[in-house]
Amino acid sequence: MTSTALESQLVVGAILFALGMIGFLTRRNLILIVLSTELMLHGVSLNLTAFGRYHGNPQGQVFTIFVLTIAACEAGLALSLILTLYQRRKSLDVFLWGNLGEDDLPVFSGGGLPPQPKSADPNAGLPHLTPAGSAPATPVTKT
Amino acid sequence: MKWIMENGTVLIPLVLGWLAVWLLLPREKARSRVLGSLFALGALLALQVALLPPAGNFVRDAMFYLFSSAAILSGGLMITDRNPVFAALWFALSTLAVCGLFLLNSAPFLSAATIIVYAGAIIVTFLFVIMLAQQSGAANYDHRPVQPMMASVLSFVLLGALLFALQEWGGIDGKASDEAQTGQFVALDAKTNANLFSQPPNSNKTEIGSMRVLGRSLFSDYLYVVELAGTVLLIATIGAIAIAPRRSQGTL
């Protein structure tokens, strides 16, 4: 029995990977982002089984089983995280969490390019340290 | 110009596919669905003519074309559909098509396991969450993708690099020139043992993918990795249990 050419399967795997990458980069729904990574994993699994078939050993399929395991872990963790995030903001939009960066970075709120930071600070061009940690407690003043 | 003429077999499906994806990505204005669908069909046909040559066996080739077209089309529909519920269902269809490709690669156990895990567990739970969170169908943010132009161009440049590398590589069967063959994949030596439990591999090639060979490799060569994967599953379960509940409402 002739087997399908290895290159054809690699091409299909690459296309699935690229489609998943587009979905990961463009979608704003948290759940669809996770599903797009699963599509990328499908492309990888297809490559693994094609190589296993070509070389005539079961290693490709064994690795695909491990990919499946990690995908299941990832889906469980992603779902619990998404549920937690949803309960905070009551929405699945990624941009609602665009303010998780550092304080002095611009908040990325979608649309075109991220908004440029305002350069009201005269020392904007100089290197600076990002404030880290919590602010110290204000000393209690006796009145 | 000459370079473009020479590599038209790769460039035509790439450009058509990029046009299709870019036209069909959800946006606020009306999408030109007809044009995008035509481009998508053209890309698929050009791809099959140029990059997926038939291997000789008619039934096998027909099934390969069927499954690969279904996987690619439903993957494209998944990333371009506005409604997240439909997107999840398209992903389920793509999973089924990929499982068909697994079957063609003589991996029946893997095919069944993937259907059970993905279509049976992951899709259903994701659909539950979508229905819980978005009962009114597509929300506002599903109509506005993040920088569709840059993302699609970047992904198709990556895909083009992969396809060109595959073409330059020229295949395993020796149709490439001598210089290109230095990057060939080499099969492992049969005496290579992964660990103490390894057993000599079965030389009978018709048995690949049977449960016997698969289980033998899984529990001898990759015994430690199986234990590690089980540990990762356990840790992920504990993490999910720790993350999910609402502590403010006293569920844990």
- CATH number, domain of B97, equals 1.20.120.1200
pLDDT one-digit tens code per residue, A48-102: 999 888 877 788 889 999 999 999 999 999 999 988 888 888 888 888 777 777 7
Kindly state whether residue A143 falls inside one of the protein's structural domains. Answer: no
- Residue A34 makes CB contacts below 8 A (sequence gap 6+) with A74, A75, A78, A79, A82, B126
Assembly ipTM: 0.85
A76/B214 Cβ within 8 A:
no
Give the best residue of A19, A29, A67, A83 to mutate against chain B (max B CB count within 10 A): A19
| pLDDT of amino acid A34 | 92
Q: Would you call A138 helix, strand, or coil by DSSP?
A: coil
Q: Does the CB of B134 have a partner CB in chain A at under 8 Å?
A: yes
Kindly state whether residue A50 falls inside one of the protein's structural domains. Answer: yes
Q: Are A67 and B165 in contact (CB under 8 A)?
A: no
| pLDDT band at residue A36 using 50, 70 and 90 as cut-offs | very high
- Pick the most confident of A20-34, B56-70, B119-133, B175-189: A20-34
Kindly state whether residue A16 falls inside one of the protein's structural domains. Answer: yes
User: How many domains in chain A?
Assistant: 1
CATH code, A67: 1.10.287.3510
Kindly state whether residue B113 falls inside one of the protein's structural domains. Answer: yes
Kindly state whether residue A62 falls inside one of the protein's structural domains. Answer: yes
Provide the residue range defining the domain that includes B50.
Answer: 2-185
pTM over 0.90, yes/no:
no
Kindly state whether residue B247 falls inside one of the protein's structural domains. Answer: no
User: How many domains in chain B?
Assistant: 1
pLDDT one-digit tens code per residue, B232-246: 999 999 999 888 776
Q: Does the CB of A109 have a partner CB in chain B at under 8 Å?
A: no
- Segment B68-83 shows an average pLDDT of 91
Instruction: Check pLDDT > 80 for residue B199.
Output: no
Q: Which one is predicted more confidently, B199 or B171?
A: B199
Kindly state whether residue B89 falls inside one of the protein's structural domains. Answer: yes
CA distance linking residue B144 with residue B68, whole number of Å = 29
A-contacting residues of B 43-102, CB under 8 Å? 47, 51-53, 55-57, 60-61, 64, 68, 71-72, 75-76, 78-79, 84, 87-88, 91, 94-95, 98, 101-102
Kindly state whether residue B69 falls inside one of the protein's structural domains. Answer: yes
Kindly state whether residue A115 falls inside one of the protein's structural domains. Answer: no
CA distance linking residue A75 with residue A137, whole number of Å = 41
Provide the residue range defining the domain that includes A39.
Answer: 6-91
Q: Which one is predicted more confidently, B81 or A40?
A: A40
| pLDDT of amino acid B139 | 73
Give the best residue of A1, A3, A4 to mutate against chain B (max B CB count within 10 A): A4
Instruction: Check pLDDT > 80 for residue B4.
Output: no
Q: Based on C-alpha coordinates, what's the Rg of chain A?
A: 23
Kindly state whether residue A25 falls inside one of the protein's structural domains. Answer: yes
Kindly state whether residue B220 falls inside one of the protein's structural domains. Answer: no
Kindly state whether residue B209 falls inside one of the protein's structural domains. Answer: no
Q: Are B80 and B73 in contact (CB under 8 A)?
A: no
Kindly state whether residue B105 falls inside one of the protein's structural domains. Answer: yes
Instruction: Check pLDDT > 80 for residue A12.
Output: yes
**Residues of chain A positioned with their CB less than 8 A from the CB of B162:** 14, 17-18
Kindly state whether residue B195 falls inside one of the protein's structural domains. Answer: no
Give the best residue of A3, A8, A68 to mutate against chain B (max B CB count within 10 A): A8
**Residues of chain B positioned with their CB less than 8 A from the CB of A40:** none
